[in-house]
Structure 1
Amino acid sequence: MVVAFFCGPPVISNAGRVVTFPILTQDKLLISVFGGFFLGAGIGLAMRGGGVLDGTEILAVYASKKTSLTLSDVILLLNILIFAVAAYVLSVETALYSILAYLSAAKTIDLIIDGIEEYTGVTIVSGRSDAIRRMITEELGRGATVYSGKRGYGSRGELPQGIDIVFTVITRLELSRLTTEVEKIDRQAFLVMHSVKETRGGGVKKRPLH
């Protein structure tokens, strides 16, 4: 069934009065996208609080711990299987709109569960690696790993001398501050950034969902 948050029926409140929700749109595409957004927001907030809405989320939490799939991936796959049956019983169009709604919901779940605490791994190659390492540990309060390396070929030719390379894991919200501070120390520093899907051990702590 297509998730229709914008054109729901009247709901009876606890006081016995009828609360009427206005119909904002009849467009099925808008209903699917934004309905999926609000659905994902509800599921994501519930899971961040340690709860679930139905058996699908319970299975998703269990499967995400046993596999490399995220919670939203498992929920989306389960619902695609359900909607495949709906396409046979009801109609292909209805099933496709429903899948679109859950695609939107899956992205919203990822944003709420992982977006705020999403970690980024940053590798910094600089001749002033010790100053950068102190800035990360003392000013940002993050851990850093320093390992030895050698420069390769660049615009200045081969540089055979060794160099210390700094690696750290920070949150997405701290990334802008890190790059600004590194630029203050060494404007020629080379930075490589990549998303970190999962971390274990060390000083990086992430609150478990369940």
Structure 2
Amino acid sequence: MVAEQHASVLPETIYEHLRSSIIGQEVAPGSAVTESTVAARFGVARQTAKVAIERLVAEGLLRREKHKAARVPELTAAEIADLYESRVVVESAAVARLKGIPAAALAAHRALIEAGADYAHQDIAFHRALVAGQSSSRLARMHALIMGEVELCIGQVQAAHLLSANDVAEQHQGILDAILAGDSDRAARLTSEHIAVSRDRLLAHIDS
């Protein structure tokens, strides 16, 4: 029984390590992530490595073409623009539905303030928590579908120093203040503006 529990936890551990490495740009866009390499790195069977890789593929943090190794996506400018447009629609609608500040969002905001330059995971957690805190399960599912690629973009923004943790925290605080005041229109507008700033700086960076 203990062995079964260990086997079920291990792919999760590998997944978390790989996810963190991809978001942190330690595994660069375009890089292959193979079952054999992952298995060797973590000292596990290839099937165990495959479970973790396929989860990342399902979330959009990796892409796999038929009969080829999974790779970290290299998103084009058009893909990024489309992704962020989708994100604005979903997140602004979700934030407008909130009746209060989700505890998980507040915790992520505080963690981001303390994170310094390495803030991507806290930024992601903040946005996930806002969407998870509203009442529409369909909005939450729509958000989950795009968040893998969003996480790639947030990682790029952090790695290229396009926004500081202070910049992000200040924008998050404005959103939280609007939610606390019960001003759903302002909360939605500030969310859209916050996302647009990240999009515009990332697109400018790619074009430079």
TM-score bucket (shorter structure): under 0.3
- Name which structure has the greater RCO, CA cutoff 8 Å, separation 6+: 2
Is the radius of gyration larger for structure 1 or structure 2?
1
- The structure where helix makes up a greater share of residues is 2
Calculate the TM-score normalised by the size of structure 2: 0.27
Larger strand proportion of the pair: 1
